[in-house]
Structure 1
Amino acid sequence: MSSIAIVGAGPGLGAAVARRFGREGYDIALVARDPRRLDELVGALAAEGVTAHGFPADVRRPEELVAALDAAGRALGTVEVLQYSPVPHRDFMRPVLDTGHRDLVGPIEFSVYGPVAAVQQVLPGMRRLGRGTILFVNGGSAAVPHPERAGTSIAFAAESAYGHLLHDRLAGEGIHVAQLVIPGAIVAGHARKDPVVLAETLWGMHQDRHGFRHYADDLDS
């Protein structure tokens, strides 16, 4: 049985992706910081006929994230698809001239240390399978730096570089690495940024397996 681990799972995009992959027979591992909210999400999905399992972890604590993904792999089998899509904290989005070096610790932990720890945990299993997909989901500042959102602009750029390096390095091993850039907010009912639409986009990226960077919408939207 194939499984997907959704890091940063919540009631919006994470739940929509769980439903989409669940329809295809994937076992679902939800990773998020708050155990209570995880339980609520697992229960809500169960009421819709989607079986998911919660694994609490703070992405800014790599050892917790590694342990959660290890537990997911032992409970559900090898993680074939990893989605890294936690929502950044508001305090990461300071104007560039107000951003000191200590203000970058959180964004770097969130968008660099977390993804690296997650990938390093699941990659050996993907290599044993001879297949896998790693999906990074980022905001628009990953593509165009924003002077009022310095922390995410800097950290997303690093995450993007890491993902692109993985894309180039792992393609020959049957492991596809891709990034979805979502400009602005995820909006229910939006033609391109509704969670259900985005989940379909991510499913398509997993299936089509071409290119690294994809855009959910125009950057000026």
Structure 2
Amino acid sequence: MTQSDQPVLVVLGGGPGLGLSVARRFAREGYLAVLTTDSDEGADDLAETLRGEGFAAEGSGIDLTDPDDVTRVVKAVGERHGRIDVLHFNPSAWREKNPLELTVPELLEDLTLGAGALLPALQAARPYFADGGRILVTGSVAADKPWHRAASLGVQKAAVRNLVTSVDAALKPDGIRAVAVQINGSLAKDGPFAPPLIADAMWAAVTRSAEEWTPHVAYDG
């Protein structure tokens, strides 16, 4: 393992919207962006988009419902580059079922992807974090104002926000911090909730000083 001079961002649950915009925002600051999706092909397509813009990027398929696969992928990034500087946890499961239709196995499956997968990712990344490392989580207004027809989403977002509080407290003594940026609106192609503007807010959230740090930041557009 050799230590790269270039900082490394890992995006879990990447996509052509917010995940790609966050990767691009960090790439503009000199980061190597590693984008993961549920297939190698999809991840490579996202990475190729950034490479076409002149940035350093890689793609990797990942099964976020399988802790062993999450561990494998994140560990491989750390071993390849000798470092992970920012871990961006972006996934959520959308299931349009209200509480009278949602089953316990379905809820737990969604919760595994939208919150639980953060645990193996964090544990695999930890040996490659140094002082100044950051965990960045995409939060949602659904944590406070869930839509009853997609009941599991609110549970995912409330759970992952709560988990970030514990992650931040556990890592703070080592100079590593975690933050959930809660997006209090719906993503849109244009306007204040367009992905590039949210990506700017996420960059600002992870670059705050220790004195300014809080584990939760609200983005109100």
Same fold (TM over 0.5): yes
Q: Please report how far the alpha carbon of residue 172 of structure 1 lies from its aligned counterpart in structure 2 after TM superposition.
A: 2.7
Aligned identity (percent) is 25
RMSD of Structure 2 on Structure 1 (CA): 1.7
Aligned to 1:24: 29
CA contact (8 A) 2:42 2:61 kept: no
Cα distance in 2 between the residues matched to 1:189 and 1:211? 28
User: In the TM superposition, what is the alpha-carbon distance from 1:36 to its structure 2 partner?
Assistant: 1.4
Q: Distance in 2 between matches of 1:14 and 1:171?
A: 26
Instruction: Give the aligned partner of residue 16 of structure 2.
Output: 11
Flag as ranges the 4+ runs of structure 1 deviating above 6 A.
none
- Say yes or no: does 1:141 pair with 2:137: no
Write out per-residue CA displacement over residues 111-130 of structure 1, whole angstroms, 9 at most, x where no aligned residue: 2321111111112222xx22
Equivalent position amino acid for 2:170 in 1:
R
2:130 aligned with 1:157: no
One-letter amino acid of the structure 2 residue matched with residue 203 of structure 1: W
Q: Is the contact between residue 12 and residue 37 of structure 2 (CA under 8 Å) also seen in structure 1?
A: yes
Distance 2:137 2:143 in 1: 11
CA distance in 2, matches of 1:143, 1:135: 19
Aligned equivalent of 2:89, options 84, 90, 112: 84
1:125 pairs with 124, 128, 149, which one? 128
Matches within 5 A, 1:46-195: 46-86=51-91, 88-91=92-95, 93-126=96-129, 129-191=130-192, 193-195=193-195
Q: Secondary structure at the match of 2:100?
A: helix
CA contact (8 A) 1:130 1:173 kept: yes
Q: Distance in 2 between matches of 1:110 and 1:2?
A: 26
List gaps (5 residues or longer) in structure 1. Answer: none
Between the aligned partners of 1:57 and 1:36, the Cα distance in structure 2 is 11
Comparing 147-156 with 18-27, which one deviates more in the overlay? Answer: 147-156
* 1:173–1:144 Cα change, 3 Å: farther
Match for 1:37 among 22, 32, 42? Answer: 42
Residue deviations 1:14-50, cap 9 Å, x none?
2111111111111111111122111211111111111
Aligned residues: 213
Task: State the 1:4 CA deviation.
Answer: 0.7
SS in 2 for 1:9: coil
**Would you say the 8 A contact 1:3–1:78 is kept in 2?**
yes
User: Separation in 1 of the partners of 2:40 and 2:186?
Assistant: 25
